[in-house]
Structure 1
């Protein structure tokens, strides 16, 4: 398993004259092999800053010639359109390589954007990692 953390910098103080900044963790990514599937666990916020890291991790995980790539978004608190775009690209890449992309979405922060864009009709969405690994739609 390996973990990549994307960080952004925000000001520590609300005072405009403050120049001290503290990096905060915006998103983290961890990949592990589970049988013939790779599981990409994502947590934090996926926005225009962190979505390129998500795309990078999806590309790396599919490159390992897996039968399925499970993207676990259970720990995601914010999921912007840039994240949706990364998922679509990951879905396309997985299909080109003969793998199935499956998504675990357990909160409105992730389920709602997938429903509004109708991606839940194209990409299999699951309510748990266990169900996603088994492959039956939830």
Structure 2
């Protein structure tokens, strides 16, 4: 689990979280509290930059959906950016792409929120 990373950066009106590593049942206990803390921080517009995610299974998808639900319940808007093709396929196959908004780049997501 040494390759896991989670870094947040304030960018305009958005809070961008760069996520890296494998998102699976083994890393769920590492990622879940970081995402929970991210939402608890009170940011209104949150962009998850998933360009560094090398693998994601159903447990990782569950973390993303749970984070979206938590953000939604707190009045925040959470979107995904730079989603690797393999994860895009999972989002489409499961229908999660109808819940989780996906942008090609962080800049595209930021533009929707007014930079």
- Per the normalisation by structure 1, the TM-score is 0.75
* Residue pairs, 1:1-138, within 5 angstroms: 7=1, 25-135=2-112
| Higher strand content, 1 or 2 | 1
- Ranges of 4+ aligned residues in structure 1 off by more than 3 Å: none
Number of aligned positions between the proteins: 113
- Per the normalisation by structure 2, the TM-score is 0.89
**Greater RCO (CA < 8 Å, at least 6 residues apart):** 2
Root-mean-square deviation (CA), in Å? 1.5
Could you say which structure has the larger radius of gyration? 1
CA distance in 1, matches of 2:34, 2:112: 21
CA distance in 2, matches of 1:113, 1:35: 30
Question: Which residues of structure 2 form unaligned runs of 5+?
Answer: none
Question: Which residues of structure 1 form unaligned runs of 5+?
Answer: 1-6, 8-24
